[in-house]
Structure 1
Amino acid sequence: MSAVGEPRTLADRPDDVRRTAESLAKGMDRAVLAFPLTPFDADGDLDLGALRAYLDHQLAAEPGAVFAACGTGEFFSLAPADYEAVVRTTVEHVAGRAPVVAGAGYGSRLAAEYARTAERAGADAVLLLPPYLVRGPQDGLVAHTRAVAAATRLPVIAYQRDQVAFTPESLRALAAVPNVIGLKDGHGDLDRMQRLVRAVPEDFLFFNGVPTAELQARAYSATGIPAYSSAVHAFAPEIATAFFRAHASGDTAAVDRLLDGFYIPWVRLRDQGTGYAVALVKAAARMRADVIGADVGPVRAPLAEPAPDHLAEAERLLAAGLDLAAR
Structure 2
Amino acid sequence: MDMKRKAPVGILGFPVAPFNSKGDIDEKALSQNIENLVDEGLSAIFTACGSGEFQSLNMAEYKTMVEVAVSSVNKRIPVYTGVGGNISTAVELAQLSQDLGADGYLILPPYLIHGEQEGLFSYFKSIIESTDLNAIVYQRDNAILSLDTLGRLVEFPQVVGFKDGVGNMDLNMELTQFIGNRLEWLNGMPLAEVTMPSYIPLGFTSYSSAISNYIPHISRMFHKALLENDHETADDLLQNIILPINTIRKKKKGYAVSLIKAGMEIVGYPVGNTVRPPVVPVEKEHYQQLEKIVKVAMERYPKNTAIK
Q: TM-score, normalised by structure 2?
A: 0.94
1:20 is aligned with what amino acid?
Answer: K
SS where residue 71 of structure 1 aligns? coil
Task: Map 1:126-145 to 2 at 5 A.
Answer: 126-145=105-124
Offset at 1:19? 2.7
Number of the residue aligned with 1:35: 14
Task: Map 1:172-251 to 2 at 5 A.
Answer: 172-251=151-230
1:305 maps onto 2:289 in alignment: no
Partner Cα separation in structure 2 for residue 124 and residue 20 of structure 1: 9
Number of the residue aligned with 1:105: 84
Offset at 1:192? 0.5
* Cα 1:201–1:260 shift into 2, 3 Å: closer
Note the aligned Cα RMSD (angstroms).
Answer: 1.4
Contact 2:273 2:282 in 1 (8 A): no
SS where residue 50 of structure 2 aligns? coil
Contact 1:33 1:229 in 2 (8 A): yes
Contact 1:212 1:267 in 2 (8 A): yes
2:198 is aligned with what amino acid?
Answer: A
1:150 maps onto 2:150 in alignment: no
1:44 maps onto 2:23 in alignment: yes
Q: Deviations over 1:71-115 (max 9, x none)?
A: 001111111111011111101110111111110010211100010
Identity %: 32
Q: Deviations over 1:120-144 (max 9, x none)?
A: 1110001000113111110000000
1:21 maps onto 2:9 in alignment: no
Match of 1:169 among 137, 141, 148: 148
SS where residue 80 of structure 2 aligns? strand
**Unaligned ranges ≥5, structure 2:** none
Number of the residue aligned with 1:6: none
* Aligned structure 1 segments of 4 or more residues deviating by more than 4 angstroms: none
SS where residue 105 of structure 1 aligns? strand
Partner Cα separation in structure 1 for residue 115 and residue 300 of structure 2: 44
Q: TM-score, normalised by structure 1?
A: 0.89
Q: Deviations over 1:272-325 (max 9, x none)?
A: 112100011111111122xx4x43551112212111101100111111223333
SS where residue 186 of structure 2 aligns? strand
1:90 is aligned with what amino acid?
Answer: A
Number of the residue aligned with 1:118: 97
Partner Cα separation in structure 2 for residue 75 and residue 141 of structure 1: 20
Q: Which has the higher contact order (CA 8 A, sep 6+)?
A: 1
Partner Cα separation in structure 1 for residue 165 and residue 111 of structure 2: 15
SS where residue 202 of structure 1 aligns? helix
Aligned length: 303
Offset at 1:172? 0.4
Q: Deviations over 1:184-214 (max 9, x none)?
A: 0001111100111123252312111100111
Q: Deviations over 1:228-279 (max 9, x none)?
A: 1111112221221121122222211110011000111111111111210001
Partner Cα separation in structure 2 for residue 61 and residue 305 of structure 1: 26
Contact 2:258 2:273 in 1 (8 A): no
Contact 1:257 1:324 in 2 (8 A): no
Number of the residue aligned with 1:86: 65
Contact 1:39 1:297 in 2 (8 A): no
Partner Cα separation in structure 2 for residue 275 and residue 132 of structure 1: 18
